[in-house]
Amino acid sequence: MRLKTALATALILLAALGCARTTGADPNTRAGAGTGPNSGAGVAAAPPQTAPASPRTDAARGAAQADLASYFKPYRAGSFVLYDLKRGTYVRHNEQRTRQRFSPFSTFKIPNSLIGLESGVITDAEFTMKWDEKKYPAHRRDTLPFSSWWQDQTLRTAFRRSALWYYRELALRVGHARMKEYVSRLRYGNADASGPVDSFWLGDSLRISSEEQVEFLTRLYREELPVSKRSVAIVKEIMTLEETPGYRLSGKTGGGPLGEGRFLGWFVGYAETKENTYVFATQIEGPTYLSIRDERIAVTKRILAGLGYIRS
């Protein structure tokens, strides 16, 4: 039993490595910290699923394309999909991969936050949970963002620091039955929350494609999800990563192991300008967590600037 527990803990921490974020600012308040999976049970050795195209995706499939290959040359693999809310068009790189489902890792903190609010487990962005050191032992105290985890957290700080223990505890309080119901109601990816309630989004049963990430975030942005406007407003607010005179960038990072020598990095969200809003999902692969940690946000901003949507 001790051996099984130790093995499960080790896998969880390995997945958590894919969750820290960073783009050169304080890791406790920046975009990257949004990837803190806690449990990696089920390192994604299973073949990726292919998601069916949504009607919205099919309707704009032939529109707005661009050659983005040069942005992805430094990475082993990657994809990008962007939806232009005003024009109803898409920009894609590696379209086949954008329809493959992978573990969401810490990008699931977006729906997990909504579920916590809707279920009443948490009340607002300042809802505090006490850190239980015995239940969630500290590790990597000298490394960000992990060093910022080991203290009491609010929903706001847990999201920005990607504090995995907070979201595992949130999921446990929601409970398996309610969690499965909410994930299904939100139509998030394959909507499979059959894995352990505190880790099914970390290389386990839940899978989502880049196209589905964009479709989900579009419904979130347009307030089309079956949740209250209050919950949506709170989640949108804590998702804000960067505000400049020309744009506002909101989103969440995520990451974790796909297998030996393969690490997946997610960055999903939207960029708002005075004229338009662009919903995106970026995905890159690298040999280690550090190889993708900062790059998932950086390459997204390079693409958005290269397309003329934001000014770098």
Which helix (H) or strand (E) segment is 90 a member of?
strand 89-93
- Tell how many helices (H) and how many strands (E) occur in the chain: 11, 10
The set of residues, in sequence order, having a beta carbon less than 8 Å from that of 138 and lying 6+ positions away, is 146, 149, 150
106 is catalytic: yes
Separation between Cα atoms, residue 1 and residue 48, nearest integer Å: 31
Cα separation, 177 vs 165, in Å, equals: 20
Question: What is the Cα 11 distance to its own chain's centre?
Answer: 19
Q: Which of 106, 113, 162, 209 is catalytic?
A: 106
Cβ-count burial 284-312 (b if 16+ within 10 Å, e if not): bbbeebebbbbbbbbbbbebbeeeebbee
CA-to-CA dists, residue 283 to 94, 100, 233, 256, 293, angstroms: 10, 11, 26, 12, 11
Which whole-number Å values give the CA distances from 106 to 39, 84, 248, in the listed order?
11, 24, 21
CA distance between the termini of the chain? 52
Burial degree of 89 (CB within 10 A; 0-12, 13-18, 19+): middle
Catalytic annotation, residues: 106
